[in-house]
Chain A
């Protein structure tokens, strides 16, 4: 085998240059650590500086108000997504609190805003901004004292340090954030990224690449959507006691996903349907029961195996269907998950019940090549429906 072409290519490209993107230097210039800025070498110094400044200021505040009560200060981690200033709200008039320091984060920077004179109407704020390159330990602190803001009287919110007559404390951030965001997207998962995308594993890849390369080199993007999976089950229940039981059986799940990849005038649509058979093992606790209905919470594991799958791709040019390809997809890997659900069961007879179990699943990574909602959103909502046979009544 002759590798000469590799050397040739390397040499040819060694001196190739591309125009640097417009405005690149300008944005670098703003973020770069320049000479008169102070450098710190550890990320840990930021919270220390913030804490020290806050505590020092607290003493000043307390001294000024001639109050000797104890100060409580607890440190919390910062939620990065929250935009600066969003949190500040007007306080109810009967309970004035004065903002002493607040830590605010946006995508790239972290601020500690400290007010150092609460008696004046206008006070100087000191901002410490750090530019973070996430995996970098080198930080930069820039200190400016040249702008003034009115002191804000604020209500309880995240990551702020208050003086409320005498006690200052940092408010805890909400513990329910994850759950709220979960409930905001109950219907599967959707994602967009630039570049090509495909569900295909085998021959379709070539087809799709040829299709795209024929038409353009312009920017392409890909939309992927995974439908919410629903699991049907035929399960057996074994009562351990009045309240506790174990269930197991067989489940069937169908996973549907759509993908659109391409530019504006041409694109292809992938439709992937996957069929899974699974065996669940759950333990349930009945917390409410009437004649025919019972409610329970359950937790357990579920192992699933992909038994069949199809991928159908349609190719469009100017919205005209040009071509259709089909391929079979299959993964040999087992898909394990753990779940927790709340269930309602309706007894049709003494032995047979039908159930519905909305719940939360966590799907473990398996090394399968298939793009599924399990892979895309391992922690997700699931709805199980089915028929259950009760044994040992």
Chain B
């Protein structure tokens, strides 16, 4: 066991005992990452705060059940709780607006062109994801960041596999557009600066 792992395990033990300082330490080192995870799913700042608050409470209450499996496992486990809380929130509060489109109705290029996020700052990527309609966004996040298959997404969101796949393709197509727009904007800006 590395030194880091030992430290993390010790922290874990203190949190289980109800040590407030340990909880604060955990919060300080993970809140930024977990806020980012939550913000992928939810766009409204107040809702993000509510969901994160619920998530942290849940994490601290359930942490005695967590089995330590090495460095990063606690963070991954916490992120999963945040994702679940976010999904619950979406199901309760937002309309997913899932559109069922026949596959031939998709823009042709969506199959071929892939969004190229190279050189795009991560906070802009975050903005782009957040600006997707909730249905597209949720499916996209589950597919990309949670590594879920469309079959799994379908059962999580209670939609059909086809719907999941079409939401994902549309999200991808919109992101391609967003990226184009962003690059254009940058070019524009550079040109105006050069003048």
- A-to-B contact residues, CB < 8 Å: 2, 5-6, 8-10, 12-13, 15-21, 23-25, 27-29, 31-37, 131, 133, 136, 138, 140, 193-198, 200-202, 205, 209, 212-213, 217, 219, 222, 369, 371
Contact = CB atoms under 8 A, between A and B. Distances in A.
Contacts of A6: 144
A34 B20 contact: yes
A17 B49 contact: no
A369 B56 contact: no
Contacts, number: 144
A372 to B, nearest CB: 13
Contacts of A16: 36, 122-123, 125-126
A34 B19 CA distance: 7
A306 to B, nearest CB: 16
Interface of B: 17-20, 23-24, 27, 31-36, 39-40, 43-45, 47-49, 52-54, 56-58, 60-62, 93-95, 97-101, 105, 114-118, 122-123, 125-127, 130-131, 133-134, 144-145, 174, 178
A32 B97 contact: no
Contact of B116 (A5, A32, A193, A195): A5
Contact of B133 (A15, A27, A196, A371): A196
B25 to A, nearest CB: 11
Contacts of B145: 10, 13
Nearest to B45: A21
A82 to B, nearest CB: 21
A25 B27 contact: yes
A369 B62 CA distance: 37
A32 B20 contact: yes
B36 A8 contact: no
A18 B61 CA distance: 24
30 contacts: A10-B144, A12-B122, A13-B40, A13-B126, A16-B36, A16-B122, A16-B125, A17-B32, A18-B35, A20-B35, A20-B52, A21-B45, A24-B53, A25-B31, A32-B57, A32-B60, A33-B18, A35-B19, A37-B18, A133-B61, A136-B61, A193-B95, A194-B43, A195-B44, A197-B95, A197-B97, A198-B97, A219-B44, A369-B99, A371-B95
B48 A21 contact: yes
Q: Which of A8, A32, A34, A202 has the most CB of B within 10 A?
A: A32
A2 B43 contact: no
B47 A194 contact: yes
Q: Which of A10, A17, A18 has the most CB of B within 10 A?
A: A18
Nearest to B175: A9
B114 A2 contact: yes
Contact of B53 (A10, A31, A136, A198): A31
B18 A35 contact: yes
Given A27-B53, A136-B61, A213-B178, A195 B94 contact: yes
A196 B42 CA distance: 12
A23 B105 CA distance: 46
Contacts of A193: 93-95
B31 A20 contact: yes
Contact of A17 (B18, B35, B54): B35
A32 B134 contact: no
| 5 closest residue pairs by CB, A with B | A17-B32, A35-B18, A21-B49, A20-B31, A16-B122
A95 B116 CA distance: 78
A28 B53 contact: yes
Nearest to A212: B131
A217 B97 CA distance: 19
Contacts of B100: 201, 369
Given A16-B122, A133-B61, A209-B133, A35 B20 contact: yes
